[in-house]
Amino acid sequence: MNHQRYRPYPAVDLPDRTWPSQRIKEAPIWCSVDLRDGNQALETPMDLEQKLDFFQFLVSLGFKQIEIGFPAASETEFAFTRALIEGNLIPDDVIIQVLTQSRPHIITRTFEALEGARKAIVHLYNSTSALQREVVFGKDKGAITALAADGAKLVRELAEKYGEERFIYEYSPESFTGTELDYAVEICNAVMDVYQPTADRKAIINLPSTVEMSTPNIYADQIEYMNRNLSRRDGLIISVHTHNDQGTGVAATELALLAGAERVEGTLFGNGERTGNCDIMNVAMNLFAQGVDPKLDFSRMPDVVNMYERYLGMRVPPRHPYAGKLVFTAFSGSHQDAIRKGMMKVKDKDYWEVPYLPIDPADVGYGYEPIIRINSQSGKGGLAYILEQQFGLHLPKALQQQFSEVVKRVSDRDHHEMQPGELYELFEKEYVDLHVPLRLISYQEASLGTDHAQVMAKMEFHGREVPVTGEGNGLMSAFCNALEGLTGKKVEIKDYQEHALAQGSRSRAITYVELAGSQGEIYFGAGTSSNITKSSIRGVVSAVNKMLEDR
Ligand SMILES: CC(=O)SCCNC(=O)CCNC(=O)[C@H](O)C(C)(C)COP(=O)(O)OP(=O)(O)OC[C@H]1O[C@@H](n2cnc3c(N)ncnc32)[C@H](O)[C@@H]1OP(=O)(O)O
Ligand SMILES: CC(C)C(=O)C(=O)O
């Protein structure tokens, strides 16, 4: 890799820049360019029907400005524009936008496509960078300015013919980020000399990073420079249109907003040429996550993903911000523990604040089930969360710890993620109502006074039926004493906890029993029954079986 073939991008001389201390306090004007810049980058551009459906979908998300295509590019593009206009399919509060090169026959065809439109943005562009002036056009700055101004003149002439009040003018010095800033100002001013925008009748200056070539701070400097130096500033809306060649299309847009941009062009999930456009959903959701109304509705993100994947044939990667299927999921133990604790606490707060979950998944239409998923990187907090949330089991902390080691072993050995159902089955298999080699057949309790009990039980031990008797200061201790006699093991209850099980038609209880082994080991077992005493007795039997198994 010979890096010396490449040159560093020049910095902008703007020592008194102000954008770093600004905040984005409100949503910009959004313009979706999915149907134009996104569409032109697809292996197979959308057909008419697809474009119609996608347009309506963009409207449903709240876009008020939508670049619907490049009408002079193809019959489909032209017919789509006509279908929207003739079919009266454009809501009153939505403005369509169309793109045209600065070439007479293309501009003329564009206006033909727009005939009858209630309102439309006519977006004129030509490339202005030093490289494109040299390589593509073979023209100097003066000739390129004339190309732009001539195009603008024809646009204005045709607009006047069709009714100027119906049109909003937009101009893009395409490849702006490769253009000398003073020249960018010059050419934009020349185009605006033609359009003569005013505060009452604004025009749009769109400053694209057609190819992203610098860090986003430099783009922000460029936008601030333009913001300060363009003539007729009151009559302009400064718009940005970033691409993602260096992976910072979203950041560049955000810093540009700090630097004075008022309008953002972008696409859903950043589909677009090469590495894509600015992901408009990402910028909007970043605002949302800062408490700013994004004025776009992504509350049904799974539908947005589905629409995008079906119509564009593209995939939303699982780690895509706000939308990927893994972005609200933690596999790792410490994240899971913090999320579980945060989810318990957030109920008492009037704002969202959960570690590792910058937004509430429910706000974008995702459920809570996949927040925590279990594999060999997971810890006790995660499995406790799943057993609590999905199965109503509230394991004592020490049992969580012990079960987590079991889960880790199984998941590491099988090298796979454990589904909630598998986790529950493993828990049942390991701890609940264990009856081998020791099984409770029946028991009877006799009270020998206020703090003295006797229990007589029929047990099966290694396949043989055996009657046992024990006494103690309560039923449980009497039963433990009876089992000590039978098994020859010390059966000492260290802790037990019980709770009702929400699941199932009949109300049942579960009891978790912790036995202390003679060498400091601990053995857990759990018993379930509709009778709370029985569930405790079964819990003891399960724990003794664990102790016997430990041999
Ligand atoms: C950064 C962007 O995304 S810009 C938008 C790009 N999108 C598209 O190009 C999609 C739609 N485009 C098309 O269908 C076709 O390119 C058309 C119909 C617009 C034009 O097609 P064609 O005339 O066959 O040729 P082509 O696109 O190759 O045009 C290149 C010519 O246009 C000139 N040109 C390119 N862009 C512009 C412009 N914005 N304004 C004026 N002239 C331009 C070139 O200098 C070149 O001129 P030359 O023939 O004298 O060398
Ligand atoms: C036409 C312009 C705005 C464009 O698509 C780009 O520069 O990327």
The verdict on 67 and 160 lying in the same domain is yes
Average pLDDT over residues 52-66: 98
Taking Cα atoms as reference points, which of 218, 157, 249 lies closest to residue 9?
A: 218
Calpha distance 453→325 (Å, rounded): 57
Cβ–Cβ < 8 Å for 78, 109: yes
In a domain, 12, yes or no: no
Ligand 2 centroid to 208 CA: how many Å? 6
Residue 285 has pLDDT above 80, yes or no: yes
The string of pLDDT tens digits covering residues 334-367 is 999 999 999 999 999 999 999 999 999 999 999 9
Cβ–Cβ < 8 Å for 61, 298: yes
CA 71 from centre of chain: 34
Residue 373 has pLDDT above 70, yes or no: yes
Ligand 2 centroid to 188 CA: how many Å? 15
Which of the pair, 450 or 308, is modelled with greater confidence? 308
Average pLDDT over residues 281-297: 98
Q: Which ligand is nearest to the CA of 176?
A: 2
pLDDT confidence tier of residue 408, bands split at 50, 70 and 90: very high
Query: Could you tell me which residues come within 8 angstroms of residue 11 by beta carbon, excluding any fewer than 6 positions away?
Result: 218, 221
Give the pLDDT score at 504. Answer: 58
Q: Report the atom number in ligand 2 closest to the C-alpha of 211.
A: 8
Q: Which alpha helices (DSSP H) does 275-321 contain, by range? A: 280-288, 301-312
The verdict on 400 and 466 lying in the same domain is no
Give the CATH number, domain containing residue 482. 3.30.160.270
Residue 371 has pLDDT above 70, yes or no: yes
Ligand 2 centroid to 225 CA: how many Å? 20
Ligand 2 centroid to 39 CA: how many Å? 13
The verdict on 389 and 254 lying in the same domain is no
Calpha distance 212→278 (Å, rounded): 10
pLDDT confidence tier of residue 436, bands split at 50, 70 and 90: very high
- 278 class by beta-carbon count within 10 Å (0-12 exposed, 13-18 middle, 19+ buried): buried
**Number of folded domains that form the chain:** 3
Q: Report the atom number in ligand 1 closest to the C-alpha of 101.
A: 39
Q: Report the atom number in ligand 1 closest to the C-alpha of 70.
A: 11
Taking Cα atoms as reference points, which of 190, 119, 199, 105 lies closest to residue 159?
A: 119
Average pLDDT over residues 109-130: 98
Q: Report the atom number in ligand 2 closest to the C-alpha of 206.
A: 3
pLDDT confidence tier of residue 551, bands split at 50, 70 and 90: low
Average pLDDT over residues 323-333: 96
Q: Report the atom number in ligand 1 closest to the C-alpha of 100.
A: 39
Annotated binding site for Mg(2+): 37, 241, 243, 277
- Token readout for 157 is 């002439």
Q: Which ligand is nearest to the CA of 72?
A: 1
DSSP 143: H
Domain boundary among 312, 345, 360: 312
Q: Please name the residue whose Cα sits nearest to atom 11 of ligand 1.
A: 73
Residue 128 has pLDDT above 70, yes or no: yes
Calpha distance 38→50 (Å, rounded): 13
Ligand 2 centroid to 210 CA: how many Å? 5
Calpha distance 499→539 (Å, rounded): 13
In a domain, 88, yes or no: yes
Give the pLDDT score at 363. Answer: 98
Residue 238 has pLDDT above 70, yes or no: yes
The verdict on 253 and 390 lying in the same domain is no
Q: What three-state secondary structure class fits 455?
A: strand
The verdict on 126 and 233 lying in the same domain is yes
Q: Report the atom number in ligand 2 closest to the C-alpha of 208.
A: 7
Full DSSP string of 397-427: HHHHHHHHHHHHHHHHHHTSPBPHHHHHHHH
C-alpha dist (Å) from residue 162 to 112, 115, 120, 272, 523: 9, 7, 11, 32, 86
Ligand 1 centroid to 495 CA: how many Å? 79
Residue 505 has pLDDT above 60, yes or no: no
DSSP 34: I
Phi-psi category of residue 462: left, alpha or beta, with phi > 0 → left and psi -120 to 50 → alpha: left
Full DSSP string of 6-20: S-PPPPP--TT--GG
In a domain, 496, yes or no: yes
Pocket test for ligand 2, best of 174, 222, 244 (most atoms within 8 A of CB): 174
pLDDT confidence tier of residue 507, bands split at 50, 70 and 90: confident
Average pLDDT over residues 370-388: 94
In a domain, 327, yes or no: no
Regarding the beta carbon of 224 and ligand 2, being less than 6 Å apart is answered no
Lining residues, ligand 1, CB within 6 Å: 37, 40, 70, 72-73, 101-103, 106, 125-126, 136-137, 147, 174, 210
The verdict on 246 and 144 lying in the same domain is yes
Calpha distance 115→84 (Å, rounded): 11
- 282 class by beta-carbon count within 10 Å (0-12 exposed, 13-18 middle, 19+ buried): buried
Give the pLDDT score at 449. Answer: 77
C-alpha dist (Å) from residue 225 to 29, 94, 180: 21, 31, 11
Ligand 1 centroid to 105 CA: how many Å? 12
Q: Sign of the CA dihedral 304, 305, 308, 311?
A: negative
* Triad 33, 34, 36: Cα angle to 5°: 65
Domain that holds residue 154: 28-312
The verdict on 179 and 273 lying in the same domain is yes
Q: Report the atom number in ligand 1 closest to the C-alpha of 72.
A: 18
Q: What three-state secondary structure class fits 67?
A: strand
Calpha distance 515→504 (Å, rounded): 28
The verdict on 278 and 154 lying in the same domain is yes
In a domain, 17, yes or no: no
Residue 387 has pLDDT above 60, yes or no: yes
- 461 class by beta-carbon count within 10 Å (0-12 exposed, 13-18 middle, 19+ buried): middle
Give the pLDDT score at 26. Answer: 98
Q: Please name the residue whose Cα sits nearest to atom 7 of ligand 2.
A: 210
Ligand 1 centroid to 126 CA: how many Å? 9
The verdict on 278 and 360 lying in the same domain is no
Calpha distance 448→469 (Å, rounded): 13
pLDDT confidence tier of residue 166, bands split at 50, 70 and 90: very high
Regarding the beta carbon of 174 and ligand 2, being less than 6 Å apart is answered yes
Query: Could you tell me which residues come within 8 angstroms of residue 107 by beta carbon, excluding any fewer than 6 positions away?
Result: 100, 101, 124, 151, 154, 155, 158
Q: Please name the residue whose Cα sits nearest to atom 6 of ligand 2.
A: 210
Q: Which ligand is nearest to the CA of 147?
A: 1
Cβ–Cβ < 8 Å for 250, 286: yes
The verdict on 243 and 156 lying in the same domain is yes
Q: What three-state secondary structure class fits 358?
A: coil
Amino acid at 190: A
Annotated binding site: 37, 241, 243, 277
Q: Report the atom number in ligand 1 closest to the C-alpha of 126.
A: 39
pLDDT confidence tier of residue 450, bands split at 50, 70 and 90: confident
Q: Which ligand is nearest to the CA of 40?
A: 1
Residue 12 has pLDDT above 90, yes or no: yes
Pocket test for ligand 2, best of 210, 211, 240, 265 (most atoms within 8 A of CB): 210
In a domain, 418, yes or no: yes
Residue 326 has pLDDT above 80, yes or no: yes
* ipTM of the predicted assembly exceeds 0.85: yes
Give the pLDDT score at 36. Answer: 98
Q: Sign of the CA dihedral 196, 198, 203, 208?
A: positive
In a domain, 305, yes or no: yes
Q: Which ligand is nearest to the CA of 102?
A: 1
Q: Please name the residue whose Cα sits nearest to atom 20 of ligand 1.
A: 73
pLDDT confidence tier of residue 448, bands split at 50, 70 and 90: confident
Q: In which order are the strands placed within the sheet that holds 464-472?
A: 438-447, 453-461, 464-472
Domain boundary among 258, 277, 312: 312
Query: Could you tell me which residues come within 8 angstroms of residue 213 by beta carbon, excluding any fewer than 6 positions away?
Result: 9, 177, 178, 245, 246
Taking Cα atoms as reference points, which of 198, 286, 206, 222 lies closest to residue 11?
A: 222
Calpha distance 337→383 (Å, rounded): 9
Give the pLDDT score at 476. Answer: 95
Pocket test for ligand 1, best of 35, 103, 132 (most atoms within 8 A of CB): 103
Average pLDDT over residues 384-404: 96
C-alpha dist (Å) from residue 238 to 130, 177, 223, 234, 259: 22, 15, 9, 10, 10
Which of the pair, 505 or 5, is modelled with greater confidence? 5
The verdict on 273 and 337 lying in the same domain is no
Ligand 1 centroid to 5 CA: how many Å? 29
CA 509 from centre of chain: 39
The string of pLDDT tens digits covering residues 471-502 is 999 999 999 999 999 999 999 999 999 999 97
Regarding the beta carbon of 267 and ligand 2, being less than 6 Å apart is answered no
Residue whose token pair is 């947005």: 304
Tell me the pTM.
0.92
Give the pLDDT score at 503. Answer: 60
Domain boundary among 404, 431, 458: 431
Q: Please name the residue whose Cα sits nearest to atom 2 of ligand 2.
A: 174
Calpha distance 56→477 (Å, rounded): 71
In a domain, 263, yes or no: yes
The verdict on 230 and 145 lying in the same domain is yes
